[in-house]
A = this chain, B = another copy of it.
Amino acid sequence: MGEFGLIQRHFAQLGPLASDIRLGVGDDCALLAPPSGCWQAISVDTSIAGRHFLADADPWAIGWRALAVALSDLAAMNAKPSGFTLALTLPEVEDCWLADFSAGLRSLSEKAGCPLIGGDTTRGPLSATVQVMGWCQPEHVWRRDGAQSGDLLVVTGSLGSARGGLQQMQAINTRQRGERWSWTPLMQAYMLPEPPYAVRDAWSSQPGVHAAIDVSDGLLADCRHLLEASGVGALIQDDSLPIEADLEILLGQNQAREAALSGGDDYVLLCAVAPDQLETLTRLWPATVVIGECTESLGIKLASGRSWIQEGFNHFL
């Protein structure tokens, strides 16, 4: 089967039909009709075998994850997904692998309301580049640079689990890596993250979210991006980070805290919110946890007084 048959079989009409799509896969370009008064948010993420995921992992999960990490950026901007493109590079055409990969992609695509509208398939070392597009209300955009001294820092889910899951995935054999139904909850947190679109839906029209970022590189690293863009500092209550019991059992208390601070791949939101809006936001999203506050003095301080070595993930360090 050639390139065109392959695309046709696995990627035609992947995801929900949406009213703003005038033309999907199959022409030189896809065509979108922007809803009136909206801005478009755009983000792109590349996932490479052996770096962002284990090459022998369940292809269903690889497909899910490639889209999840990109959707997380849309949520962090308060944008509603409208569609995505997929640039997929494959070493060879394996029909079963592709069927599973596209099924995982489709599953999240339907759940998040974000159809595939275009793409490119090429031959080479396995990687997937997903670009997501979404619409947002100009008056409700969550940028990184809006945090103010006195704002509370909140996260919308638990931290560090993905780091524990990665460790567990590395310790099992190829057969188990290929069977996602055998995975522990921590492995699922790493390979099948739920991007934070539900909390963004809950908060989309609320006032009081002054700045937001998704936690992908690690809490400290992403917190620093937000603080530097906003020109403030932070005091982090590192003894009250939301950590799953499973992770503490696996790593012990100290290492679990370290994973929560710098592990990465959490795909929850970190937001700077007005203190007087915390109650409303927590009512709308009960998993909200306050982890610190923004300060006038720059830099990040940990309330415990501990120091840390690694801040987050950097592809080229």
A contact set with B: CB distance below 8 Å: 1-4, 6, 22-23, 26-34, 36, 38-46, 48, 50-52, 73-74, 76-77, 79, 85-87, 89, 93, 117-125, 127, 129, 131, 133-134, 136, 138, 141, 143-145, 212-214, 229, 314-317
Knowing A51-B123, A123-B315, the reply to whether A39 touches B31 (Cβ < 8 A) is: yes
Knowing A51-B124, A317-B2, the reply to whether A44 touches B89 (Cβ < 8 A) is: no
Knowing A2-B314, A131-B85, the reply to whether A124 touches B40 (Cβ < 8 A) is: no
Residue of B nearest to A23 (CB): B143
* Cβ–Cβ < 8 Å partners of A22 in chain B: 39, 138
Name the distance in Å between A175's Cβ and chain B's nearest Cβ: 26
Knowing A119-B44, A133-B42, the reply to whether A144 touches B314 (Cβ < 8 A) is: no
Contact of A43 among B30, B51, B76, B122 (CB under 8 A): B30
Knowing A87-B129, A317-B2, the reply to whether A76 touches B28 (Cβ < 8 A) is: yes
- Determine whether the beta carbon of A125 is less than 8 Å from that of B124: yes
- Determine whether the beta carbon of A28 is less than 8 Å from that of B124: no
**Complex Cα–Cα for A174 and B122 (A):** 25
A27-B229, A29-B134, A44-B87 given; name 14 further pairs at CB < 8 Å. A23-B143, A27-B77, A29-B76, A31-B42, A31-B136, A32-B39, A32-B40, A32-B42, A44-B86, A45-B87, A46-B129, A51-B124, A87-B129, A121-B316
Name the distance in Å between A70's Cβ and chain B's nearest Cβ: 9
**Complex Cα–Cα for A3 and B195 (A):** 24
**Complex Cα–Cα for A119 and B144 (A):** 17
Name the distance in Å between A155's Cβ and chain B's nearest Cβ: 15
Residue of B nearest to A6 (CB): B316
Name the distance in Å between A130's Cβ and chain B's nearest Cβ: 9
- Determine whether the beta carbon of B122 is less than 8 Å from that of A51: yes
* Cβ–Cβ < 8 Å partners of A32 in chain B: 39-40, 42
Residue of B nearest to A77 (CB): B29
- Determine whether the beta carbon of B40 is less than 8 Å from that of A34: yes
**Complex Cα–Cα for A73 and B30 (A):** 10
* Cβ–Cβ < 8 Å partners of A43 in chain B: 28-30, 118
* Cβ–Cβ < 8 Å partners of A89 in chain B: 46, 48, 127
- Determine whether the beta carbon of B28 is less than 8 Å from that of A73: yes
**Complex Cα–Cα for A315 and B31 (A):** 25
Contact of A41 among B31, B36, B76 (CB under 8 A): B31
Name the distance in Å between A215's Cβ and chain B's nearest Cβ: 11
| 30 contacts across the A-B interface (CB closer than 8 A) | A1-B316, A2-B314, A2-B317, A3-B317, A23-B141, A26-B144, A29-B43, A29-B134, A30-B42, A31-B39, A31-B40, A32-B42, A34-B38, A34-B40, A36-B36, A44-B85, A44-B86, A44-B87, A44-B131, A46-B120, A46-B129, A48-B89, A48-B122, A50-B124, A87-B87, A120-B129, A121-B315, A122-B315, A127-B127, A129-B129
Knowing A31-B77, A77-B28, A316-B93, the reply to whether A42 touches B120 (Cβ < 8 A) is: no
- Determine whether the beta carbon of A27 is less than 8 Å from that of B121: no
